[in-house]
A and B are shown apart, each in its own frame.
Chain A
């Protein structure tokens, strides 16, 4: 079979919805079977996303157990534990969790609630067999409390956190951040939410009569794979590390194939893409109709005004806060939260100058197909995430407020931006300006109190990178050379997406795209502080697409 024919075949095969069968594990299985005496290899079934069989009740924050909500200042200890947990119904799997004991109750990955000004003092005890540290994702902290990975807790040891909540109301999250191990540890279960409330937030909750876990619903979207016994599995080849993990099942709040019973009223969904690597194109659909809804917040909290949207791209680690008015939906059929099909833009093999396929190279999704794990759902396929059943309910008169909050004034630095190019060395290593992670180096240095513009330029021969900065939130000023599927969702203002109007700590940068962001390096912490800037595709992070940067006092 010549090169061209093979490529064509793979492309067609990927388009047929079976994009991930070519992976090394699958090859191993098939050829082992042939060796075992089968004259024709048994052909594995193509992976497909669930098509409506969403029959497990969505897990939600309750009084105890998984995601239980608790005041952060009441949590004195978090024990990072290995345990068994029924991720799949009635099937126990090894699982790692943040465990807190509060008021005689045992909480797993508790939803921590705080207000600006709260003092959080807690001890993290590491019961894993490897070093770990908690990163408070999105919060403004000094480098010791940030959990950059420069301070680690070895197995059996502990680490004491002590910090003040300084940020706006928003849904932040906490997860592991040890060098080279973040993907594995997060995958095995370590991730929780930290919700900060303030007066603007209370006004909204009051106006819409929202209750956390009832009508204000956090949704943590993650993809996972299970072995044949229903146990979580994280085994990646080097090629899969280069792409990032893609699982076989999409879980919402650690629920496989979930549903949720809703009333005919306004619901708030605070959505975290907690996946290691996968992006989603989120939309609410009823039948073939996509439902209008309102984006009200992003990583760093409420927007100034609600923005009507129909769909949103969300990269790993990003959050969106949306309102969906189910009074506008028909009560006769379920609404689905789904990820619409999109081009995952695995363009690693294109020619950098022309953006066209390099001679002799497989391209795009097919190239990725050849590296994805056996059975994984291909990146960018349409999939159902959550079924929302609409139940008869009393009349509800809530109205979405026209004004939500005030954002800090946007102050843009004068002069040339600092350029940071996202690329690869064609040997399987992602990098930032050619730099790869070294704990002892800080190739970027900024002055405390300085304003800077950073220009994040993703190469054409690349894939989407969700870029996360520790220590500071930022604003997006402009997007250029965005792919058509992104431009289609953009506003008329400098190519900005609706979520670019909020405060962010993570921004998804597509191949060939340039994103200008504004940073203000003011903070109250004395002395030099070292933070991380990295891709939040956790396999990219773990294989070196991360740099330290120093804020000089």
Chain B
């Protein structure tokens, strides 16, 4: 078994609207990951944040820039599941200047700017409105150009933003490079997983060679969660990635939800982590508690958003209403409805705020919100309203969503701190205890993931 490591929680900022969460938990975070699309959408604000990470904490807080290269590849249609190469998901309906009420479907400005900066096959993909193909990546000269541009972008984009502003240029040399640069990566299309895996491995190899002595390179494995059940695929990745020369690997199994995963998937996930950890740092790009627990077998860190984001579909769902930020129940390690928890109080012996703080969560958010009245738990964390006079359905209030996010982050950092010294046996005992306490409550959807997680950690 690979040696345990102290796990890191690396927050991913989705937009600057989430900056408040980063600022208020700055002292607790282990790192920040920023999408290159965010950098291009708001270069000044994003570069300032990078600067803050470099200077407001000793030692500086590590920053990673996700180059988001997969956005220029093929993607699964969310409705049919078929592969689409039209890059439509990085387009939006934009107003045509001078013609009132007329819109045109164009590439989002952030991705258009990113393609221009990466150049080569990315720029051509946008010109043709067609995804980067395996053929494009087969040309070694073109591939080297891609690799160099993507690494240089991550190393220097924030510095460049400071340099071009006369007022801030003097601070530019205080911005350190990212902790590591990501090799360009693409989603492994389900209809040609082998071909796309080979291309991604080649990109990782080229990137590691190009950046040797300059900056460590990390690879990203971006593939559908269904491949977690494929033993041969897991074996292939575990044996191939170490030969690329990269210093780290970030695992992103699209749509992989740890609580819903089968035992076979969890076991293969663990096996992949263990095998890769013998050769490099292994991270979960979008992970939850189970991933964090795998630090006991070598996982170095977990990244997720401030409002959960513990799983991510490679193709974001567009056009749906804002999802409710549900309360994270620390004993269950999942999001749970407040009313389900409240209805369980009696059965699990929660009769006072003190009981709640002992048996569910004692973070500062929960203590302040519940105070001396247990009823505040559901009323405040679950507060709903009609957001507009015309709304037909109630939605979560912004304040309730914010409270749930802050509580989640504090609970996650507490989990990380506990896991630094917890043994696998202790983790399984905690999961087992939660299963026994919560598993028999008919008001809750059966938390049977706790049992699968115990088995997978055995």
A is bound by B: no
